[in-house]
Structure 1
Amino acid sequence: MGILLVLIALILIVGLYKPNFVSIQSLANFGARAAWFGIIALGVVFLLSMGEIDLSTGSIYAFTINASAVLMVDWAVNPWVAGIAGVVIGVALGGINGILCNVLKIPVIIITLGTLSAYRGLTLVVSGGGFIYGLPREDSFFTVLGAAPYGVPMVIWVFAAMTVILGIVYRRTRYGFVVRAIGSNRRAAEMGGVPIARIRLITLMLTGGLCGLSGMLTLAFFSTADPNLGTGFELLAITAAIVGGTALTGGRGTVVGAALGSLVIAVIGSGIVQFGIAANWSVFVTGVMIIVAVSLDSLVRRRQGREA
């Protein structure tokens, strides 16, 4: 409720001074921007709840877009098949992260610090370092996934659906319970027979798949591919999850909160532009939001500890 009230207040404040900000078109625009990294943030909730951080999500997102575009343009693969391949590639890259972590016994943040650059480098190799044009925009892949039913871009509809589905998975399934249990007390979970390595692999594959899904929706929306897409998305996704109420230290999270956190970040970014402030300030604000959210979470945990 807190993050929802913050979101509403931000929209009203900006809309009070810039009435065009609350138009359907404007709301749809910043909603779409939020959805592109927000879909990734939904998976980040599961990882943070386990006490893990994935820094390669932005690179996976970019690689799936460019790999699918190459399949469509250079290999003349059916766009729907190439789109499915993009999601599968995302799952595979997330799986590689998981396998490396399990085999080398290294935390996810260390492995993904390397794959962040490795996957981005592969993106530059696949794309040739430039934009990929000539996509078959008349195909139903683009006309359906790039459409805007009732004036709302398809990516927002998918974002909302995934929020509901993953919210149920997180709160109502054994998998979601185990994820939270690992983050709450990894040693106890391990002694209780929880297959931590397997759950971590599954969670990284889930996050990679969400990167691929978001990538395909982005490709359909813009009908072109850019190797620089997704730069900084890993931090935006983490910020959205933390601002939404997911604990950086693990054990507690909220999928709906991550979705609302994504919208808050998008509203702040759009509001900065609306007031004529340089867009680069949004990066600064994002960093401040992380510090504030983590500080508040730490204060709440210390208070709960004293009360216990």
Structure 2
Amino acid sequence: MDVSSSASNLFATGPFSHRFLDANGARLHAVTANLDPDTTPDRVVILLHSYPQHWYAWRHVLAAAPEIGLPIVALDLRGHGASDKPPSQFALPTLAADVAGVISTLGAREAILVGHGLGGVVARGAAARVPESVTRVITVSSPHPATWQLHRSARLRAHLAYLLAPQLPERGHTRGTAVATAITELTEPTSPVRELAASYATDLRSPFAARCVVEQLRWLIRARRRPSGRQFLAELERAYWIVPVTELYGEAEQLFAPASFADDARCVPGGHFLPEENPKPIIAAIVAAATERE
């Protein structure tokens, strides 16, 4: 398979299986490894991707399922990939409720949530909803939103302003180069993610996908200014003291300044897209979380 082409990787084959899960009123596409569809898992690892990607960003972690030793579920978040793209309900608390619903749908007693970027915020939100079911959150290139400090890049700030503009970013995702621009801004020239930009852009051109995804980003950018966003951030803060969090970020991170991350965050080789650029520290963190409760 030529990953540099614009062909979709949504239903790529490999050492994993595709299925759909019903949760929180949505039908979510999931890619699983080590998961027997005929049995109820006691513990499960749930992988949550970032913008502008989908489950395929976790292919290297899925391939490490024998090393991890637990059932693994890589979700397409609502509005992304092959999951439902409703005309409303874009807020991140809804996505967090989706993930909490997936844990219930699977019947798992415990879950380790691993989230990259946007998915990291969703993972924190899901832990806030069902702290009794989440044993650890692992965030990748995703500091707590209350501590965000962006790199001082004029082009990056211009891109965030562009996302807030009405209709323009939707057109940029459906007919323009918004995905390629975002990936280029956040990666080094040698990053393998650049080879996949056309594929990810293709998937965001499916009906209603661009609107869903852009509205989620708008909600997150505006979160501190609105009561619903402030309430969500307060829930994340409470969960932070209940559910242990492991933070990972790349030494070449180009979205968030190092001061955004917790004092005990682990800085590893790579950039913003660690699941595809350097998945080994993520796999090691999952293995450590899986064994700490054995």
Q: TM-score, normalised by structure 1?
A: 0.24
More strand by share: 2
Bigger relative CO (Cα 8 Å, ≥ 6 apart):
1
Q: TM-score, normalised by structure 2?
A: 0.24
More helix by share: 1
Name which one, 1 or 2, has greater alpha-carbon Rg.
1
